[in-house]
Chains A and B, each alone.
Chain A
């Protein structure tokens, strides 16, 4: 069974809980490729599908989702795209790098080696347009949110809390300690695909000195 459960999320959405959490992105991609659902949103442990009840009834939609998932062979899904990001770590770009490293009894370089050596993947987006939660950082590294969130975190900033990196696509308020800033443009408001990072995108982080 691909899904552990499927539950109604109000009158026009279903939340799918995969049996294997790693399959969320493949499930979302398979559903999105059908082009019939209004939204297909990956969460931490779920994929939520919004539909138009005027087009298909709740029961018909449930069956459509299940049959769409029956047709996909999740094992043979080709791996998602991969993006290399170059991260600056000067004091201005990485205000909390040293404190984060020290909290783990590491030097900044040792700490960064652990991060860049991890198998990083965009787990989901949310919080703000293009804001990416990146998984793959081992739980051994500890870190928590800033006690006083910043009014302004710059676009490209890379935050760290235990288990995750958070990458800011836009300038805005933010509560993650910042350990670097990437040079790539993550958000282009003039493009039809304004956001560079999508759920499932693999990330290679390179430190630029």
Chain B
């Protein structure tokens, strides 16, 4: 039970749920950069979200299956073919042994998830098979997938219905090249009056699973730039001295000393994984109470289809 990678550029990794409760010993979260798309994919093939899927950054991607399998495609939508036959995103697909899955570049959004019934076997580190590239932990040998890699597929525990499953249309998020992320002021947001919240920023080419650099008109901060290092989480927008913002993603460090000007809210953090270089990003101001209400609303919508998923 396996599949073999033919092409996986520029970066594809095995990702599942994040690592939690270990940031105090310096172990970052990792996990799918867009955890909602990963979970939707898992749902279509009957996997638990702790099973790894392939997170493909931008593509192209090609793999040949050495067994029959149920698979699904979620996240950033690109042209997709199984043995030259076009196949849709967001539904359970059957692949036969010897068939090839081929994906092109997405037109909007950055990361596509290929889920396989039974899950792809990754090295489990700290309760998760998710890959953490900087320290070569988890996933496939702790590294990005390469041509020739053979990925083992786990035993599917779930009997799929004969009719393919489809993600409910209200949960199929369309991505564009503009992102509006709900956010809350961070501890170092400037006190003085600012029109920051009406500005838009542009993602630069400095983008990885650690974070995304944003260019634009950021406020100048009067505070000391060497702040004492403090715990920091994905979703933080830091403002280093060179004046460009850096939005932290799941592989970010666990502590940091740059000014933390805002925090993308938990409700919208999954969208950060779909921002690509050149995209525009705006932040919509929320109070912590408003953010909690937003989160509950989105959480309830997701629970109708994925009872075990938590944002």
Interface residues of A, count at CB 8 A: 47
Return the chain B residue nearest A25 by Cβ.
B24
Tell me if A206 counts as interface (CB < 8 A to partner B): no
Given contacts A11-B184, A52-B310, is CB(A127)–CB(B266) below 8 Å? no
Given contacts A58-B288, A194-B125, is CB(A12)–CB(B266) below 8 Å? yes
Query: What CA separation (Å) do A172 and B265 show in the bound complex?
Result: 32
A129 touches B28 (CB 8 A): yes
Which of B24, B132, B236, B289 makes the CB contact (< 8 A) with A42?
B24
Question: Which A residues lie within 8 Å of B25 (CB)?
Answer: 125, 129-130, 194-195, 197-199
Query: What CA separation (Å) do A186 and B186 show in the bound complex?
Result: 34
Tell me if A75 counts as interface (CB < 8 A to partner B): no
Which A residues between 112 and 129 are near B, CB-CB below 8 angstroms?
A: 124-129
Return the chain A residue nearest B266 by Cβ.
A12
Which of A9, A47, A54, A189 makes the CB contact (< 8 A) with B299?
A54
B228 touches A41 (CB 8 A): no
A11 touches B135 (CB 8 A): no
Which B residues between 108 and 136 are near A, CB-CB below 8 angstroms?
A: 125-127, 132, 134-135
Tell me if B27 counts as interface (CB < 8 A to partner A): yes
Tell me if A170 counts as interface (CB < 8 A to partner B): yes
Chain B min CB distance to A80 (Å): 13
Tell me if B218 counts as interface (CB < 8 A to partner A): no
Chain B min CB distance to A58 (Å): 4
B125 touches A189 (CB 8 A): yes
B231 touches A38 (CB 8 A): no
A11 touches B291 (CB 8 A): yes
Which of A8, A53, A128, A195 makes the CB contact (< 8 A) with B266?
A53
Looking at chain A's contact residues, the main secondary structure is: loop
Query: What CA separation (Å) do A41 and B252 show in the bound complex?
Result: 14
Question: Which B residues lie within 8 Å of A8 (CB)?
Answer: 184, 187, 288
Question: Which B residues lie within 8 Å of A57 (CB)?
Answer: 289, 292
Query: What CA separation (Å) do A33 and B262 show in the bound complex?
Result: 29
The segment from B35-43, B239-247, B253-261 found at the interface with A is B253-261
Among B20, B230, B253, the one with the most A-chain Cβ atoms within 10 Å of its Cβ is B230
Question: Which A residues lie within 8 Å of B127 (CB)?
Answer: 192
Question: Which A residues lie within 8 Å of B257 (CB)?
Answer: 44
Return the chain A residue nearest B299 by Cβ.
A54
Tell me if B21 counts as interface (CB < 8 A to partner A): yes
Which A residues between 7 and 57 are near B, CB-CB below 8 angstroms?
A: 7-13, 15, 28, 32, 38-48, 50, 52-54, 57
Which of A44, A48, A131 makes the CB contact (< 8 A) with B26?
A131
B254 touches A44 (CB 8 A): no
Interface residues of B, count at CB 8 A: 50
Query: What CA separation (Å) do A45 and B262 show in the bound complex?
Result: 20
Query: What CA separation (Å) do A192 and B260 show in the bound complex?
Result: 31
Query: What CA separation (Å) do A15 and B236 show in the bound complex?
Result: 14
Tell me if B97 counts as interface (CB < 8 A to partner A): no
B254 touches A41 (CB 8 A): yes
Which of B24, B27, B28, B265 makes the CB contact (< 8 A) with A10?
B265
Return the chain B residue nearest A191 by Cβ.
B126
Among B23, B253, B257, B262, the one with the most A-chain Cβ atoms within 10 Å of its Cβ is B23
Chain B 269-290 interface mask (CB, 8 Å, partner A; 1/0): 0000000000000000010110
B21 touches A39 (CB 8 A): yes
Which A residues between 137 and 189 are near B, CB-CB below 8 angstroms?
A: 169-170, 172, 189
A127 touches B253 (CB 8 A): yes
Tell me if B46 counts as interface (CB < 8 A to partner A): no
Tell me if B295 counts as interface (CB < 8 A to partner A): yes
Query: What CA separation (Å) do A11 and B295 show in the bound complex?
Result: 10
Tell me if B263 counts as interface (CB < 8 A to partner A): yes
A124 touches B229 (CB 8 A): yes
Given contacts A10-B262, A53-B295, A170-B135, is CB(A38)–CB(B288) below 8 Å? no
Tell me if B235 counts as interface (CB < 8 A to partner A): yes
Among A11, A52, A172, the one with the most B-chain Cβ atoms within 10 Å of its Cβ is A11
| Interfacial residues, chain B to chain A (CB-CB below 8 A) | 20-28, 125-127, 132, 134-135, 137, 183-187, 228-233, 235-236, 253-257, 260, 262-266, 286, 288-289, 291-292, 295-296, 299, 310-311
18 contacts between A and B (CB under 8 A): A8-B288, A9-B260, A11-B292, A12-B233, A32-B24, A39-B21, A43-B255, A44-B230, A46-B230, A52-B266, A53-B266, A53-B291, A125-B255, A128-B26, A129-B26, A130-B27, A194-B27, A198-B24
Sample of 15 further A-B pairs with CB below 8 A, known A11-B295, A53-B288, A54-B296: A8-B184, A9-B187, A10-B184, A10-B185, A12-B291, A13-B231, A48-B230, A57-B289, A124-B255, A127-B255, A170-B135, A189-B137, A192-B126, A194-B22, A194-B27
